[in-house]
């Protein structure tokens, strides 16, 4: 009887959920997403939710019946029964059967989710404090993706100045989106440079930890073109809340056009880098470019005013490195400092940007060394 009610109610609710399949991103519920997997995950979510609701109604129903009818103030006299092996067995076995029924579809979805074989495209995703890097394995190019929400929108402290109203995609917007085609099986190879991050796009039902030194796999096949947003899901330090993921999904032909543009850009950037080697940077030019680079890449830790955060991130203002030997300064910016949060920026910046930011650090905030670092000074140890 008990069991019949549960199964009956569950099947009614399930058919209701199937009928209510209208695509609107919910504020209350999990997204159905844009992949077959995300739809299957949503279905599992709804089945288990309904099972819980039905069990809840039965259990709490019995309890409230008791609370209302078996109260002393209504003259209820306590019954004497206090054990029944039969009843204990029944309410051990019924949940067990329900759970087995639930485990079967969950198992098949899980096995499918973990099978990333026979993929068409491979993207390597690398998390680092606090940005994502996307490498297109099949075409040998890649780029970083950084938050673009300006600090004037984020910082609303009582001492903040120039507060701007928040934009529509506040905290969920980046300078370069990951671009993917529809209908292809895309394999993600996910790793990290420093701490553990987690790459999560709810619309694909993909959440996979990025572990430093290890590579995890995940995959997706997207059905609908569009822009999908996600966030880092694993606490990764101070700006964990500020490393969004934006994926632009295109029709295959648009994707091919985009890919050609990217390959051309890579070629022209290479040419620009060669030209930069021969050119000479002026102080003014370096300071302007350097400040831009500093604000996007360095200020999160070393702070806009170069003062750092005592005990966590060292100050650059008046620091021995920024005022001392230029080669050492370039080396630490280009190659990072092992076993610390200082990253190797030679992979992230062009030689020109690197030279400019070093110049900026040596001349800003009263670090008046007067040094102008040239591209030729930047001895990149790692080929880009």
- Out of 156, 264, 282, 288, which residue is the one contacting another protein (CB under 8 A)? 156
Q: Least Å distance between CB 36 and another protein?
A: 12
Q: Least Å distance between CB 203 and another protein?
A: 9
- Out of 5, 57, 63, 269, which residue is the one contacting another protein (CB under 8 A)? 63
Q: Least Å distance between CB 104 and another protein?
A: 11
- Out of 9, 49, 146, 380, which residue is the one contacting another protein (CB under 8 A)? 49
Burial class (CB in 10 A: 0-12, 13-18, 19+), 325: exposed
Taking CB under 8 A as the rule, which mask of x and - marks residues 10-39 in contact with another protein? ----------------xxxxxx-----x--
For the four alpha carbons of 298, 299, 301 and 304, in that order, the dihedral sign comes to: positive
Q: Least Å distance between CB 334 and another protein?
A: 19
Strand order in the sheet with 226-232: 178-181, 244-250, 226-232, 197-201, 206-210
Burial class (CB in 10 A: 0-12, 13-18, 19+), 132: buried
Q: Least Å distance between CB 294 and another protein?
A: 19
User: What is the spatial distance between Cα 2 and Cα 62, in angstroms, rounded to a whole number?
Assistant: 12
Size of the site for another protein (CB under 8 A): 101
- Out of 171, 321, 323, 380, which residue is the one contacting another protein (CB under 8 A)? 171
Site for another protein in 332-351 (CB under 8 A): 339-341
User: What is the spatial distance between Cα 270 and Cα 351, in angstroms, rounded to a whole number?
Assistant: 11
C-beta closer to another protein: residue 115 or 325: 115
C-beta closer to another protein: residue 339 or 383: 339
C-beta closer to another protein: residue 36 or 285: 36
Cis preceding-peptide flag for 314 (omega within 30 of 0): no
Helices 85-113 and 36-69, packing angle to 10 deg: 160
C-beta closer to another protein: residue 190 or 357: 190
Q: Least Å distance between CB 314 and another protein?
A: 11
Q: Least Å distance between CB 93 and another protein?
A: 9
Site for another protein in 195-254 (CB under 8 A): 195-196, 198, 200, 202, 205-209, 211-214, 216-217, 230-242
User: Residues near 328 by Cβ (< 8 Å), separated by ≥ 6?
Assistant: 321
Cβ(120)–Cβ(181) under 8 Å?
A: no
Among 41-49, 174-182, 324-332, 345-353, the segment contacting another protein (CB under 8 A): 41-49
For the four alpha carbons of 69, 71, 73 and 78, in that order, the dihedral sign comes to: positive
Among 117-125, 168-176, 281-289, 324-332, the segment contacting another protein (CB under 8 A): 168-176
User: Residues near 198 by Cβ (< 8 Å), separated by ≥ 6?
Assistant: 127, 207, 208, 209, 210, 232, 233, 234
Provide the CA 267 distance to its chain's centre, in angstroms: 29
Site for another protein in 68-107 (CB under 8 A): 70-73, 76-84, 87-88, 91-92, 95-96, 99, 102-103, 106-107
Among 43-51, 140-148, 174-182, 290-298, the segment contacting another protein (CB under 8 A): 43-51
Cβ(116)–Cβ(216) under 8 Å?
A: no
Taking CB under 8 A as the rule, which mask of x and - marks residues 279-318 in contact with another protein? ------------------------------xxxx------
HSE-up of 203 (CA within 13 Å, CB side)?
19
Q: What is the DSSP string of 254-316?
A: HHHHHHHHHHHHHHHHHHHHHHHHHS---HHHHHHHHHHHIIIIIHHHH-TTS--BTTTB---
3-state class (DSSP) for residue 91: helix
Does residue number 55 form part of the binding site for another protein (CB under 8 A)? Answer: yes
- Out of 20, 23, 24, 168, which residue is the one contacting another protein (CB under 8 A)? 168
Among 45-53, 180-188, 245-253, 290-298, the segment contacting another protein (CB under 8 A): 45-53
- Out of 3, 8, 170, 305, which residue is the one contacting another protein (CB under 8 A)? 170
C-beta closer to another protein: residue 8 or 61: 61
């Amino acid at each position: 009887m008990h069991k019949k009610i549960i199964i009956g109610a569950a099947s009614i609710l399930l058919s209701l959920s199937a009928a209510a399949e209208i695509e609107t991103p919910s504020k209350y519920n999990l997204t159905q997403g844009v992949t077959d997997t995300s739809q299957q995950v949503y279905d599992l979510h709804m089945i288990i939710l309904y099972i819980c609701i039905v069990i809840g109604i039965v259990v709490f129903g019995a309890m409230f019946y008791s609370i209302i009818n078996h109260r002393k103030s209504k003259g209820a006299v306590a019954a004497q029964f206090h054990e029944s092996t039969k009843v204990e067995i029944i309410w051990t076995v019924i949940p067990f059967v329900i759970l087995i029924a639930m485990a079967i579809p969950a198992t098949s979805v899980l096995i499918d989710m973990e099978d990333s074989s026979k993929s068409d495209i491979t993207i390597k995703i690398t998390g680092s404090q606090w940005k994502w890097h996307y490498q297109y394995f099949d075409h040998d190019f890649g780029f970083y993706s950084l938050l673009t929400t300006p600090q004037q929108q984020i910082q609303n402290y009582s001492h903040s100045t120039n507060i701007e109203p928040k934009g529509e995609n506040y905290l969920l917007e980046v300078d370069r989106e990951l671009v993917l085609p529809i209908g292809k099986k895309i394999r993600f190879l996910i790793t990290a440079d420093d701490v553990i991050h987690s790459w999560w796009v709810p619309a694909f039902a993909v959440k996979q930890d990025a572990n430093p030194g290890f590579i995890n796999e995940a995959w997706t096949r997207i059905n609908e073109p569009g822009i999908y947003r996600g966030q880092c899901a694993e606490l990764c330090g101070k700006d964990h809340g500020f490393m969004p993921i934006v994926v632009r999904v295109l029709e295959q032909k648009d994707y091919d056009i985009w890919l050609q543009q990217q390959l051309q850009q890579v070629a022209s950037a290479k040419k620009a880098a060669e030209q930069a080697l021969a050119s000479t940077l002026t102080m003014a030019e370096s300071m302007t470019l350097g400040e831009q680079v500093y604000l996007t890449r360095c200020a999160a830790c070393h702070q806009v005013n170069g003062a750092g955060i005592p005990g966590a991130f060292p100050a650059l203002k008046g620091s021995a490195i920024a005022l001392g030997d230029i080669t050492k300064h370039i080396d630490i910016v280009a190659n990072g400092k092992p076993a610390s949060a200082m990253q190797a920026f030679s992979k992230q910046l062009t030689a020109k940007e690197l030279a400019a930011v070093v110049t900026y650090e040596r001349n800003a905030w009263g670090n008046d060394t007067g040094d102008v670092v040239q591209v030729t000074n930047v001895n990149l140890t790692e080929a880009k």
